[in-house]
Chains A and B, each alone.
Chain A
Amino acid sequence: MTIPVQLLLKKKEHFERDEHHVPSDFHEELFRLEAEGEWVVQRVPEPYIEVATKYGRPKKIPVAGMWHHKSCGQCGHIPGYSTSIYWVMRRLGIDYNDPRDQTSCTAWNYYASATSNAAAQAAVALRNFSAAYETGYFPLIHCGTSYGHYKEVREELLHHPALRAQVRSVLGKLGKQMVMPEEIIHYSEWFYAMRDRIAAAQVLDFSGIAVTVHPACHYYKLVEGDAIYDPDIYGGQRTAIVTGLVQALGAEVRTYSTWFDCCGFGFRHILVQRDFTRSFATQRKIEVMKEEANPDVVLTHDTGCVTTLDKSQFAAQAHNKNVGVPVMSEAQFAALAMGAHPYKVCQLHWHSTDYRPLLEKMGIDWREAWAEFERDADKLRRGDQQFLTWEDVDA
């Protein structure tokens, strides 16, 4: 018998939300525990935008007043990622808080080395949430792994009273309250929810730019029901994050067959076993994208994915592999669309892949931009000024 491939593929074109197959909403338990005095639930501040999650539950995304939970890998190795998030908010006149009272979620290390445990991980999460609550700002999580891990932590705390008791005891010794946000929100959800306002502030035409999107595993595979989906984007079969923003910016999104594959980061592998990371990132992702879609740029929305897909291409080029496409976050892409400086804001000189042909296609004079950056760098080298400020960046 012939396998009805076309029939099977047609069935997979759309994800039909079924009201009889909807996972229970965690909010019921979240608020019940608050009513019983177990913790404080920090409400999503108004105004907010409601977007749909995988099974249709609406998720509130605040417009402003966010406490930026920064990412180790972004701040450390791809700083233009974080800077672009801030710059876009500032350009839109959005008030925010960039805290020093924040630690890493420590999940990169946990998934790499397991030198921690559920109680420690939950205590780290709630210490940060408590710190955010004290400021009155609402947590916005920059890293995909932090976001996915915090959702896992929330699930564990919701269902295990003994864990809550242990974490309460630890936080008590720190003088911290048990606080859980009403929603755990990833920065890319904010960019998605705000895509029309971002597009309204666009100054460059991106209609000639072809994009492939790598959806970050820890964004949508961990606690899948909490990720953003749209029936009109990939028929609701893939998260709408990143793609929805790129479409709003007028660029062309091209698909490729290995979209579900991870990037190859591996947590420990990227640091101590990169032969695996390089091989997977190039053979299963970049080469497939090049072969099937030939994009001008690869966009993704997580620390590890940008690092892996960008840095892995250099060695593959030595083997004449079909690689060589710039990689960045959609935050950097959106910032460029809104006229951000490619070096002072997007910090593309920290990236490995050659982004210059892309900038030329976008109509950005990267030679002049680099000359401006170097002039500012010289001011700092000479001691004329100590830091570059937001005002300098937009001058």
Chain B
Amino acid sequence: MSMLAYPGGSGRGRLEAVIDAGSALLKAPAVAGFADVPFAEKQRLVDEVMADMRYPDYLYGCYECGICVAACPSARFYDFSPRRIAQASAREDVELMYQQMEEDIWECSQCFSCVRCPRGNNPGGIITIMREVAVNNGLGSARKALEGYTRIIYKIMSTGTQVSPDMLQPDAFPDWGPEVKDVSENLDVWRRMLPPETMHTTSTGWDVDPRTLIELYLIWFETGALDMIKKVDEGLHMILEEVMEERLEEEGIER
């Protein structure tokens, strides 16, 4: 049920209609452009959020004071509110929490300004968990949010550093000024001019020991982090798995 079910001239009072719309009063599922799913599936996803060990530490109720919203950068530029996140969670509102997983959570800046909450809530933390559940279950919002981001996931998981000097290309960062072009044109020399020996690299932030990288790969395998990629990007998962297994095999490491 959504507000769309209550056109203005229905004869019922607007306030009553809004109250009747209940959990879906803030945004309609269709807005996100993803197909609706049965309530039981929404409940399963919400249960997964609430089962996270961190969840009880992130939610203590809500005064509805709005301090989190006032502090929130995303609330200023998006139709987004950390208070709605805390309230939906506090009410265990399955419909709304599902909707937030499909619409709102990727707008959060994860700055944690919202932990200014006088009740000790952590809406940003709740969102971290909701995002994890969205990825783990391959929700449409996660797939969409991570479009164009996959090269970063590849970089961090396969090299152990998040961004590299050779990512600074004018076509990737046209809004960062002409210095990006200078850096890209002089990259090799400018990196070799850095006095720390660990920083002469161009394809990683610093020189990561090969043995260290193998340990990182084992962490991705053993904790299920690599499996998470499969849910949002099967192609990327296949490439990462191949790269990592090949390295482990070279080292004679069996999992």
* Residue ranges of A at the interface with B (Cβ–Cβ < 8 Å): 70-77, 79, 82-83, 86-87, 98-104, 106, 108-120, 123-124, 127, 131, 148, 156, 159-160, 162-163, 166, 169-170, 173-174, 176, 217-218, 221-222, 224, 260-262, 264-269, 271-272, 274, 276, 278-280, 284, 311, 314-315, 344-345, 347, 349-352, 373, 376-377, 380-381, 386-390, 392-393
Q: Are B162 and A388 in contact (CB under 8 A)?
A: no
Q: Are A170 and B167 in contact (CB under 8 A)?
A: no
The answer, yes or no, to whether B251 is at the interface (CB within 8 Å) is no
Q: Are B112 and A221 in contact (CB under 8 A)?
A: yes
Interface residue ranges of B200-220 to A (CB < 8 Å)? 200, 204-209, 211-213, 215-216, 218-220
Write out the residue numbers on chain A whose beta carbons fall within 8 Å of the beta carbon of B21.
Answer: none
Write out the residue numbers on chain B whose beta carbons fall within 8 Å of the beta carbon of A176.
Answer: 215
Q: How far is the CA of A393 from the CA of B196 in the complex (A)?
A: 11
**Chain B residue with the shortest CB-CB distance to A277:** B109
* Residue ranges of B at the interface with A (Cβ–Cβ < 8 Å): 52-54, 57, 71, 73-74, 76-78, 106, 109-113, 115-116, 128, 131-132, 134-135, 142, 145-149, 152-153, 156-157, 160-165, 167-168, 173, 175-177, 179-180, 182-183, 186, 189-200, 204-209, 211-213, 215-216, 218-220, 222-225, 228-229, 232
Query: Which of A131, A265, A389 sits near B212, CB closer than 8 Å?
Result: A131
Q: Given A77-B168, A82-B199, A119-B223, do A114 and B128 touch, yes or no (CB 8 Å)? A: yes
Write out the residue numbers on chain B whose beta carbons fall within 8 Å of the beta carbon of A99.
Answer: 198
Most interface-central of A148, A345, A350 (chain B CB within 10 A): A350
Q: Are A103 and B146 in contact (CB under 8 A)?
A: no
Minimal beta-carbon separation of B181 from chain A (angstroms): 11
Write out the residue numbers on chain B whose beta carbons fall within 8 Å of the beta carbon of A170.
Answer: 218-219, 222-223
Q: Are A120 and B220 in contact (CB under 8 A)?
A: yes
Write out the residue numbers on chain B whose beta carbons fall within 8 Å of the beta carbon of A72.
Answer: 156, 161-163, 205
**Chain A residue with the shortest CB-CB distance to B150:** A113
Query: Which of B164, B173, B216 sits near A311, CB closer than 8 Å?
Result: B173
Q: Are A117 and B224 in contact (CB under 8 A)?
A: yes
Q: Are B113 and A260 in contact (CB under 8 A)?
A: yes
Query: Which of B54, B189, B197 sits near A156, CB closer than 8 Å?
Result: B54
Write out the residue numbers on chain A whose beta carbons fall within 8 Å of the beta carbon of B186.
Answer: 377
Q: Known contacts A174-B219, A380-B193; can you find 6 more A-B pairs with CB under 8 A?
A: A76-B165, A98-B198, A117-B132, A221-B116, A279-B77, A386-B192
Minimal beta-carbon separation of A63 from chain B (angstroms): 21
Q: Are B223 and A117 in contact (CB under 8 A)?
A: yes
Q: Given A271-B152, A279-B77, do A218 and B225 touch, yes or no (CB 8 Å)? A: no
**Chain B residue with the shortest CB-CB distance to A107:** B162
Q: How far is the CA of A124 from the CA of B225 in the complex (A)?
A: 11
Q: Are B161 and A115 in contact (CB under 8 A)?
A: no
Q: Are A173 and B160 in contact (CB under 8 A)?
A: no
Q: Are B153 and A113 in contact (CB under 8 A)?
A: yes
